[in-house]
Structure 1
């Protein structure tokens, strides 16, 4: 159905929403409701079950199910006559998504989006699944058949439906906020975790596990720390190989920069083409830290190209960052990103195309559905030898060609962009921008982080100063979740590290106190995912395991541990320890589910140190020492850089007794400092000694 035909209809209730995903369904013949009491009350009054459909704007199969089923007049009639239909954007309501995804996984043993759930008027699910075709095919039940069958069950076997729903709710509640046995976490725990991660590594193609392959940035960052701690070259090799293979694969946008969602195959060639803000925000620190550790220039390139892509294509006029870019354009997944060989020859000319195509695996027949996903299966040195062309000529050719092809690609119809601003994902990207600003000494990224943070502080909160989850079209909506607070605090902390500006530390402390007040579980420790005054759902969840993003409890433990050390707030460190203890049994038994938790444990076990940088009057000495710190992998270092207005209230103890006119770097452990370094040579010697390395 064309846009013109669909828009001749009267819009449904979704027309007043801000979510691009919900607005995509606003002209469906389905009588959609947004999540809210109106829909549930209507289901109660009309004695109908609820059909809940959950997805997000960049989801390819969500688009497919809309076109096949939700645009169907016949299916819409079945839904409208027999069900109350609710459409939810999982990015706006991750709390709803978490609960009902648990139901789908219990029913089908798998999950995904679009997520389809049937439930009673009091929110109790009794059946669910993911994508269904409109009619049965290839052994897959049809959505139309399911609707008819469940209507019959609702009308004629209600007792069975209610019993099933009650049993599912009981199971969901048992999963929602699990209480784990307490385990003693120590260095041996970390060593065992390192071995566990290495055991599932693909030592040929990189990555953890087989197809489909996901980036796993938290696991990679944890493994880099553990490789350093235990001097394990094998761990470092796993990280390095994985990052290289991703960067050279089709999961990476070789022309525009940035990473797609995940790879459908084992060697990173064919991605799901959507680009998510959080993937890129989480991968940037992994590449940054790997560059610090290995000095590999390719990792530096990945950071710069990815962040420049975000600044170019994912940054709003107000400075905050958009959520996603779609996988589809013109109704075809990946069309925007793939190339035909003849097209490249026309654009670049025969000789330049010969070089470019050899580097990027381009052929007449293509490597995916007759088209070419650009990737780099060979090294530039290998290509130079095969083509008998100088390496310098190859590098110059691909540099210029990528710029030309980027401009050419801009003339295509671009994928849709979800311009919601989510606090949690923005916090992750603020952290990435700020960390890159420090490591690469680039003011552009620091300003980007400042702008996004300032927008959140000025616009995305309620009248009481509490964070709000989402912002779009001038409307801040939905109570913030745990990961909104924890990730934003992490962004503020990285801004402080990069700039030395105490205002960011003040805000980090402020929101940490709000997070504790609003989400803390005093009985069992750890944090709930939703606030203590949040809308009542069938379960209140706790977020312990990493998924595509790090667990809220893992991030909360990390930031509280760091804030406690920086500000000498022992009560914050105590809460960090209690948070880790609340899922210590999970970390012990299933470390690969808890990459962010391992990062927090690594910090809490130490050694960790405060690094106090006094810029002073000797600008050359201070700049040389700062440059060395930028290039050094100090995962558990807390950096404070002197400013003209320091010391402030929170950092007073760090700078107390130190002459702010003399350029020095102090390496301290809970306020006890070594003899300060006054030259880069002295600093190198001290860092080597602390790491027990030969200097």
Structure 2
């Protein structure tokens, strides 16, 4: 092994614009941003690369930073044996997505953040995990022990690592979808419904256990079926889940908007970061749930969510910021949102306290660390109104007044830190959400907000290239990925359908042409996540899995079908059909994880 130690002893993140990278600019670790310089240094020194991927609002990223990356002894071990690269996953979703996929193959388990992966100088990962503590505990190895083991393997077992690299690349290539030529038949949709029914939590709503995510694409799929057939029926699963989520701690009962996920199956205590994409995905579902049921709970959840987005997430340029941190200014998880009973009593009148304490569970034992309350609906307004013999509207009015004053008091404590990034894909999701929910709930102001953000995206991110070709940026200076194009195309069509302006369809057609030109696989169908002319990674993926946000291929296919219906251009529907056929076997293998593609297949059948 080359023992040259001429690596410049400095952290190279100070000039980066990412809030996450800036958070690490003072670390004693000699971080590089992702780029050719870091890989050239790894080649020159014959060192493995420590790749750390996270984001500014990530609680466990901050924990690992405090424990390890700010620790001089751990930093010295990193600096002596590795080239360290720090990546913001919201800035480079292509890097994050690829190495998350690779980690799942290497470890036969789930990924997450912080993502901690060790690479060869060629960029191929050979070992990794997520959060590693400073000291070994709970079956987790300490980061310094991992560093030592990886250094030993790198020095003594290089031939084994080379063989593993070849096997990993082969496995990733084998995971790419292969065209079968056969379409998806309606039975696959029924299989998806059955999968979700098996995973459905009949007691608390949602799917699976803790940690529990809201699964918005699954809920949307069930709600769009508009069916009460089956036990439980698709509509019942969707409405019951949305009801529990809106009443639980995953929803911010004072400020609106949704947290990332719940640490318990009953939605009581969330992981306290708030990300724009989560609320953007859930907002239109609550509008549709209100339309399907007429329940005031659903409308109120939608209204409070939009209020939150416009109040706390809107930047001066009309775009929406990406996230709010889980930790408060003192590094305390959830500190922005947690209450002691005495602090609540100081703000509320006796009547308000009596109602709100019953409504939000303040008369129950504290749910966070045994001493703090995180507000959730313990007793619904309708139940309290019946108990008190009062009209539900009167009880709700008292609670709403209390909510307003508690929110003011909470803001005085300081809001959670913003990540000021404004990703195109997530802003496009919010445009679609505002436009759809605004139309369903009759809110012209939401339609206007959607238009403002859409126009801001076009002004800030749509560019004429020097060769005359249009290009879309994901963030300033970063070329757009598939999700940016597909989600913005979907947003343009939703806005055109709800509050049309001249030029909407023309722009949608131009955007579709760019997406087809730069991302479609002409030979096999479907869309790559990165553009044909992007700087290559060691593997190029075609994402279809619906997760916190829907898979880009499913969104692209659905948007192209919608555009074909509006314009009559068969090229768009043909591309959508190639895409759906390409992923047919993938969808059949796990239909509930690919509901956007299932919807696209249904739309194609309806158009025949």
Same fold by TM (over 0.5)? yes
| CA–CA separation in structure 1 for the residues paired with 2:207 and 2:179 | 26
Distance 1:259 1:558, change over 3 A: same
Q: For residue 365 of structure 1, report the CA deviation from its aligned partner.
A: 4.3
List aligned pairs for 1:97-496, cutoff 5 A: 97-108=96-107, 109-175=109-175, 177-179=176-178, 181-228=180-227, 234-329=233-328, 330-363=330-363, 365-369=365-369, 370-386=371-387, 391-464=392-465, 465-470=470-475, 476-496=476-496
Q: Does the 8 Å contact 1:227/1:233 carry over to 2?
A: no
Equivalent residues of 2:228, 2:236 under 8 A apart? no
CA positional deviation for 1:188: 3.1
| Mapping of residues 657-676 of structure 1, within 5 Å | none
State how far apart, in whole Å, the 1-side matches of 2:358 and 2:37 are: 59
For 1:593 and 1:182, the matched residues in 2 are separated by 21
1:584 maps to what in 2?
584
Show the 5 A alignment for 1:537-556: 537-556=537-556
State how far apart, in whole Å, the 2-side matches of 1:150 and 1:191 are.
47
Deviations 1:540-587 (A, max 9, x none): 000011111000000001100000011111121111111111112222
Matched, 1:65 2:64: yes
1:117-175 deviation line (CA, Å, top 9, x unaligned): 11111101111111001122232111011111222222233223333333323323333
Query: Does 116-125 or 197-206 show the bigger shift?
Result: 197-206
Per-residue CA distance 1:508-550 (angstroms, 9 max, x = gap): 1110010000111112111111100011111000001111100
SS of the residue 1:13 aligns to: coil
What secondary structure, in the 3-state scheme, does the structure 1 residue paired with 2:289 have?
A: helix
1:527 aligns with 2:532: no
CA contact (8 A) 2:172 2:539 kept: yes
What is the CA–CA distance in structure 1 between the aligned matches of 2:179 and 2:197, rounded to whole Å?
Answer: 25
- TM-aligned CA deviation for residue 181 of structure 1: 4.0
Post-superposition CA distance 1:645-672 (Å, at most 9, x none): xxxxxxxxxxxxxxxxxxxxxxxxx9xx
Q: How far is 1:393 from its partner?
A: 4.1
Q: Structure 2: how far apart are the matches of 1:341 and 1:390?
A: 27
Structure 1, 265-274 or 198-207: larger mean CA deviation: 198-207
Matched residues, number:
593
Task: For 1:365 and 1:295, locate their aligned partners in 2 and report how far apart those are by CA, in whole Å.
Answer: 33
Q: Secondary structure at the match of 1:333?
A: coil
| Residue 24 (1) aligns with residue 29 (2) | no
Aligned twin of 1:561: 561
Q: Is the 8 A contact 1:180 1:586 kept in 2?
A: no
Alpha-carbon separation, structure 2, partners of 1:11 and 1:260:
36
Q: Which runs of 4+ in 1 moved over 6 A?
A: 229-233
* Aligned partners of 1:261 and 1:274 also within 8 Å: yes
TM-score normalised by length of structure 1: 0.82
Change (3 A) 1:153 1:188: closer
Look up the SS of the partner of 2:462 in the other structure: coil
Cα displacement (A) at 1:234: 1.7
- 1-structure distance, mates of 2:172, 2:41: 25
Q: Give the SS at the match of 2:161.
A: helix
Return the alpha-carbon distance in structure 1 between the equivalents of residues 509 and 231 of structure 2.
36
- Matched position secondary structure for 1:339: coil
Compute the displacement of 1:388 (Å): 6.3
CA shift at 1:368, angstroms?
Answer: 1.6
**Counterpart Cα distance in 2 of 1:317 and 1:399:** 28
Q: CA deviation at 1:336?
A: 0.6
Counterpart-to-counterpart distance in 2, 1:320 and 1:171? 39
TM-score, normalization: structure 2? Answer: 0.94
Please say if residues 53 and 89 of structure 2, whose CA atoms lie closer than 8 Å, have aligned partners that are also in contact. Answer: yes
How many Å separate the matches in 1 of 2:345 and 2:364?
11
Q: Secondary structure at the match of 2:90?
A: coil
Contact 2:250 2:269 in 1 (8 A): yes
Indicate the larger mover: 459-468 or 127-136: 459-468
- Measured after TM superposition, the shift of residue 267 of structure 1 is 0.9
Q: Does residue 89 of structure 1 match 2:88?
A: yes
Larger deviation, residues 91-100 vs 194-203: 194-203
Deviations 1:332-389 (A, max 9, x none): 1111111111111111033321110100001474122111111113222323455666
Any gaps of 5 or more consecutive residues in structure 2?
Answer: 1-8
Moved more, 323-332 or 297-306: 297-306
Other structure's SS at 2:525 match:
coil
Separation in structure 1 between the aligned mates of residue 529 and residue 546 of structure 2, nearest angstrom: 13
After TM superposition, the structure 1 stretch with the greater mean CA deviation from structure 2, 424-433 or 98-107, is 98-107
The structure having more radius of gyration, on CA atoms, is: 1
Give the conservation status (yes or no) of the 8 Å contact 2:179–2:524: no
Alpha-carbon offset, residue 479 of structure 1: 1.6
Aligned mates of 1:364, 1:587 — CA distance in 2: 45
**Bigger CA drift: 192-201 or 589-598?**
192-201
Post-superposition shift, 1:599? 2.3
Q: Is the 8 A contact 1:55 1:90 kept in 2?
A: yes
Query: 1:570 corresponds to which residue?
Result: 570
Which whole-Å deviations, capped at 9, do the CAs of 1:266-304 have from their partners, x for residues lacking one? Answer: 111111111111111111111112222222222111111
CA distance, structure 2, for counterparts of residue 178 and residue 391 of structure 1: 54
Contact 1:544–1:553 (8 Å) recurs in 2: yes
Partner in structure 1 of residue 3 of structure 2: none
